[in-house]
Structure 1
């Protein structure tokens, strides 16, 4: 992946705005918000100015004019440069073509799931399932309203992608909660045994001794006993 002079995704959103026409910072923010880009790009007005200055420093954008209306503060209008157009084009091609390793918070939690008891884990997964259901219902309402405008599907692609990801996550966590509840999840026996010993007052050093002694079965001993 290319190491970019300005790597903040908000910078690409700025370049996209100026790719359309010259704008001043507040107009960029308004444009992004009106188009619902906050759902895909972390939009912070304070950060926007720092991003703009960085883009200007690296020659991707430039001041095209300044405007003043009455006694209001002067407004600086920015435009994209040829270098900025090339950067935006290269960045877009990279984003669309090449998968990158991301680190979603849910994946972190799932990787450390035995830190919770099976019952608590199932409760929390079911809570997440319900929250996802509520979010998906609201997104369906917004999507239907957008279609009634009518708004071309092209301008809702990122929303449809987000829904697809959420639906996949919803299906995964719901299934995982069910398999914990019905004890069909591989490794559930030793997970329950781990928390049984916690409940009896054993600490992890004592539990590791039991693992090494084969108390959790040969597979767990081999995996965790070292």
Structure 2
């Protein structure tokens, strides 16, 4: 069963993981997330990162450790994970890894309503999607190749491998769907549906 969490933004989970490694200020957190490619899986910006750190602080999962003053830079607050934050991190990770959750991707919504588009139009739009998906797959393969060359341990690449698996599966699905849309039998069925709607 999925638990209701005090802070449920996936960015919060990443922040807890990074703060478990070592205390740091929010700017450094953002730099490391980007440097490690987490921005490919977790949507955030500088403002949302600061907001999540604040929410984690209010929940008691992170706490201020010290404030650093440097003549070159503005004052920076160093945050660290608390014992409650460590417990939340592990509980949340156990849930995410073990319990499948229903997700509602936008493409699923479009597919559920695809019959509103003329078959030729739907096939053309899906062709554009295929081109974008192939670019994404090639980009992911490039990231994986570079990581192997850089001797990055496989566990730090697992989300990229997962992403590539999903993209490859979607490419196969969309390719089959385009073929189905081009079937003359579907064109006739779609025409009858359209006539019944008007």
TM-score normalised to structure 1 length: 0.83
SS at match of 2:64: strand
Q: How does 1:195-210 map to 2 (within 5 A)?
A: 195=194, 197=195, 204=197, 207=198
Q: How does 1:71-86 map to 2 (within 5 A)?
A: 71-86=72-87
Q: How does 1:89-104 map to 2 (within 5 A)?
A: 89-104=90-105
Are 1:15 and 1:80, in contact at CA under 8 Å, matched by a contact in 2?
A: yes
Q: Could you tell me how far apart the structure 1 residues matched to 2:72 and 2:128 are?
A: 53
Q: How does 1:105-144 map to 2 (within 5 A)?
A: 105-144=106-145
Over aligned residues, Cα RMSD in angstroms?
Answer: 1.5
Q: Could you tell me how far apart the structure 2 residues matched to 1:119 and 1:86 are?
A: 53
Q: Could you tell me how far apart the structure 2 residues matched to 1:150 and 1:139 are?
A: 16
Alpha-carbon distance, 1:182 to partner: 2.7
Superposed CA offset, 1:157-194 (max 9, x none): 00000110111111001101011113465xx5321323
Which residue in the other structure is 2:192 paired with?
A: 193
- Structure 1 stretches of 4+ moved >3 Å: none
Are 1:23 and 1:78, in contact at CA under 8 Å, matched by a contact in 2?
A: yes
Q: Could you tell me how far apart the structure 2 residues matched to 1:184 and 1:22 are?
A: 62
Are 1:118 and 1:192, in contact at CA under 8 Å, matched by a contact in 2?
A: no
Which residue in the other structure is 2:22 paired with?
A: 21
SS at match of 2:74: coil
Number of residues of Structure 1 aligned to a counterpart in Structure 2 = 197
SS at match of 1:6: coil
In structure 2, do the counterparts of structure 1 residues 25 and 180 end up closer, same or farther at CA, with 3 Å as the change threshold? same
TM-score normalised to structure 2 length: 0.94
Indicate the structure (1 or 2) with the bigger Cα radius of gyration.
Answer: 1
SS at match of 2:167: helix
Alpha-carbon distance, 1:133 to partner: 1.0
Alpha-carbon distance, 1:71 to partner: 4.9
Q: Could you tell me how far apart the structure 1 residues matched to 2:5 and 2:106 are?
A: 25
Q: Could you tell me how far apart the structure 2 residues matched to 1:173 and 1:151 are?
A: 32
Q: Could you tell me how far apart the structure 2 residues matched to 1:62 and 1:194 are?
A: 60
SS at match of 1:64: strand
Are 1:11 and 1:52, in contact at CA under 8 Å, matched by a contact in 2?
A: yes
Q: Could you tell me how far apart the structure 2 residues matched to 1:68 and 1:119 are?
A: 62
